[in-house]
Homo-oligomer: A and B are copies of this chain.
Amino acid sequence: MEKPSVALKKITSYRVIYGDTDQMGIVYYANYLRWFEKGRAEFLRQIGLPYSTIEQQGFHFPVVEVSCRYLESARYDDLVQIESEMCECRRASLTFKYAIWRDSDRSTIATGMTKHACTDLTGRILRIPKILLEALEKATV
């Protein structure tokens, strides 16, 4: 499977705390990567395969590349929605796309992507596990 034929998107939400902001009064740019992680974790949970299960099976998906565009600013106490989509799933890597919205006005705050390798617990490259392919297939039906 190169690309899921049907886009598979899952959504989760997060409330901004003080600890996420910086002195510019907005969320510090590195914290969006925490939200990406939360987004893909909830994506996997929602298709029935929590990342903790993937790890128990001996697989890791370390991030090999990330990018993010900051369109607007998230602020203290904002409720943000994190939309995650697995947009590519190759032999030994997979890619997620993200969109972050402010819940109050539905405006897109940021978009981004992460590319992941598939490895065993020692870092050796592995094929994407079958349990993931099966969970994706079931979820896209």
Chain A interface residues (CB < 8 Å from chain B): 15, 17-19, 21-26, 28-31, 33-34, 37-38, 41, 50-52, 60, 62-70, 73, 75-77, 123
Contacts and interface: CB of A to CB of B under 8 A. Distances in A.
Copies in the complex: 4
A60 B108 CA distance: 22
A29 B66 contact: yes
A21, A31, A33 — most chain B CB neighbours (10 Å): A33
A90 B70 CA distance: 19
Contacts of A31: 30
Contacts of A29: 33, 63, 66
B28 A19 contact: yes
Contacts of A62: 24, 26, 70, 73
A28 B7 CA distance: 28
8 contacts: A15-B41, A18-B37, A18-B41, A19-B30, A21-B23, A23-B76, A65-B67, A67-B68
B65 A77 contact: no
Contact of A30 (B26, B33, B52, B70): B33
A63 B26 CA distance: 11
A11 B34 CA distance: 23
Contact of A22 (B18, B52, B73, B77): B18
Nearest to A69: B65
